[in-house]
Chain A
Amino acid sequence: MTEETRDQEVPSRFCDILDKVILSIGHVVMWSNVILVVVIILQVVLRYGFGKGLVVLEELQWHLYAVGIMFGASYAQILDAHIRVDIIHSRLSERWKMRWDLFGMVFLLLPFVLVIFLQSIDFVEESFLLGERSDAPLGLPWRWAIKGVIPISFGLLAVATISRAARTITNLWRPRHGI
């Protein structure tokens, strides 16, 4: 193995680890949807069977849903599942696809993720300092915790993007085969 190829494998091995971490987080968080089914059914049974629903269960529903939708973004980023318009894209060469991808990550996705990440930290901090909780007396405490899902999920999205960007850069800079 030459010095050069070893250099290129280090980032890709590092990326593998990052990707694996995000996928594992996703594989845990994805069960929130199944728990959501259970919570809804429980609420329906309590309300129509016993005539009273619980505020906690009602709030738990959107907490579970919120966790599911927000953590999914980084998971789908690793799996490359986000919807693209591929009319032209599918006809480009691999190299051009990678170049546009890198362009998108650097100029579109990363600025967006960074701005929302930084702003959401203030958002959560404010809620934490106020000791914000549910408006309903019997609702869930710790409103800042569910708000904290925004910076955490955008942080993960940033990690997923950086991992992908690092991989794309290594692939682009790798000397072409057969030349």
Chain B
Amino acid sequence: MEFNEYLVIAMFLAFIGLLFTGYPIAWVLGGVACLFTLVGYCSDMWFGTITGLDYLTLGLGVNRIYKFMDNWVLVALPMFIFMGLMLDRSGIAEGLMKSMQSLFGKVRGGLAVTVTTIGIILAASTGIIGASVVLLGLLSLPAMMKQGYSKQLALGTIASSGTLGILIPPSIMLVIMADQLGLSVGDLFMGALLPGVILGILYILYILIFCLVKPDSAPLDPDRRPLELRMIWDVLKHIFPPALLILAVLGSIFAGITTPTEASGVGALGATILAAANKRLNLKVLVDVTKACFNTTAYIFAIFLGATCFALVLRSLGGDEFIESMLTNIPLGPYGIMTVILSCIFLLGFFLDWIEITLIVLPLIAPVVSSLGFHIDGHGVVDNPELVWFVVLIAVSLQTSFLTPPVGFALFYLKGICPPEIQLIDIYKGVVPFIILQLIGLLIVALFPQLVIWLPAIAYG
């Protein structure tokens, strides 16, 4: 191995080691880039190595930062975040919860199904899993406990439904992935839609079957009333406005009427109007949402700043070719290599957020995926069908890892809002069946790439 390859490995090790000091990830990335530039420069001077790193290498970082500012696609990001935060404050989730609870009160497990459905509908939420898990938990955990649900079922449902948000469009994770890999945002949104819905359906089927087998884990609502037409109307009344908003946003992107950026702005306005219609909009809410949006955007983009310099130094050292050759030399065939990559991402998801994984790991493995020679029919209209499919697989793996004990992010967010009598171990036990469902979903998508490609193909075909 050459000196530069040792440096690449040392860079990754330094990054991972320093992460555990708890210093913000964005600055660890930027700092490691600077330190290794210094190391490379000094060793070029004194030991005659040829890393080619110097002060001017980092100067290119400024150009790359400017490329983030001058970027049409990413303008959608603060707008989708604004939309999600506003929807969270709009009172829609509460309304849905109440109306669906009275409708499904007669079905065993109805409350858990309600939570999953709200999770799917509000998946338009920030894509910051913390936000959706906290919202769903605060909303539904007290109700499920009061009705005597088993802790595991309740906790597992909330954690898993909350993480669906990063997968189901409009998800900001997919916007960033599309930007990093030069894919179309519309293709990725459409590609992720069916797999996301399939996972949601798997959850609901599991909940219903589980409650049939173990009726005591989900007692019926004691104050349930007979089914009335009014109840159905009530649910429709609550489901219609947010569904219309999300359809309008996704539909106008899918139909090619608007760019994702324009659709995101319309979505932000739409969410504000919904909040106003529910009489939740006032100056305080607007200021709170604006502040939270500013802050959330800031910490996401801070990671962009650090990661771009890290990637720059890594690339100058030939790190991308090094990793590509390392991965393609695994003697396991394309599906074996794919499994290795997905497992690595799953493991990384234990301690990294999706933002860092998307910004650092994804650009490194994209050329590998393209060279593996999966022949997926894009029906002549989807560019790079292999990559679109693979990105959706990565998204599902990441979502799974956020659910997986001992360190999945969603579990800690949920623990944060649970009453003290609920132990972390209850949450761990609760998510196990959902992790199995996730793996089944992942397998389905891996075996049938057309589940991803079909929707974008017919939309443009």
Contact = CB atoms under 8 A, between A and B. Distances in A.
B297 A33 contact: yes
Given A69-B301, A104-B21, A120-B62, A29 B294 contact: yes
B24 A84 contact: yes
Given A44-B265, A76-B298, 8 more contacts: A40-B266, A72-B295, A72-B297, A87-B407, A90-B22, A107-B31, A116-B305, A123-B59
Contacts of A113: 30
Interface string B233-270: 00000000000000000000000011001101110110
Interface in B37-84: 55, 58-59, 61-63, 65-66, 68-72, 74-75, 77-79, 82
B265 A112 contact: no
B62 A65 contact: no
B191 interface: no
Contact of A109 (B20, B27, B265): B27
A128 to B, nearest CB: 14
Interface in B372-390: none
A41 B265 contact: yes
B32 interface: yes
B303 interface: yes
Interface of A: 26-27, 29-31, 33-34, 36-37, 39-41, 43-44, 48, 61-62, 65-66, 68-73, 75-76, 79, 81-90, 92, 97, 100-101, 103-104, 107-109, 111-113, 115-116, 119-120, 122-123, 146-147, 149-150
A33 B294 contact: yes
Nearest to B309: A112
B16 to A, nearest CB: 9
A100 B21 contact: yes
Contact-residue bracket for chain B: 35 or more
B291 interface: yes
A66 B62 contact: no
Nearest to A161: B27
A111 B79 contact: no
Given A82-B25, A82-B26, A83-B24, A112 B82 contact: no
Contacts of B194: none
B301 A100 contact: no
A87 B77 CA distance: 28
A88 B22 contact: yes
A40 B261 contact: yes
Contacts of B179: none
A100 B303 CA distance: 19
Interface of A is mostly: helix
A40 B79 contact: yes
A100 B31 CA distance: 14
Contact of B27 (A29, A41, A87, A108): A108
Contact of A43 (B19, B32, B262): B262
Given A26-B294, A104-B21, A122-B59, A83 B78 contact: no
11 contacts: A30-B293, A68-B297, A69-B68, A81-B298, A81-B299, A83-B25, A85-B25, A104-B27, A111-B31, A115-B61, A119-B55
A134 B353 CA distance: 36
Nearest to B75: A65
Contact of A84 (B25, B77, B291): B25
Given A100-B22, A112-B27, A31 B290 contact: yes
Pairs A-B, 10 closest by C-beta atoms: A72-B298, A89-B22, A108-B31, A40-B265, A104-B23, A112-B30, A82-B24, A66-B69, A30-B294, A76-B298
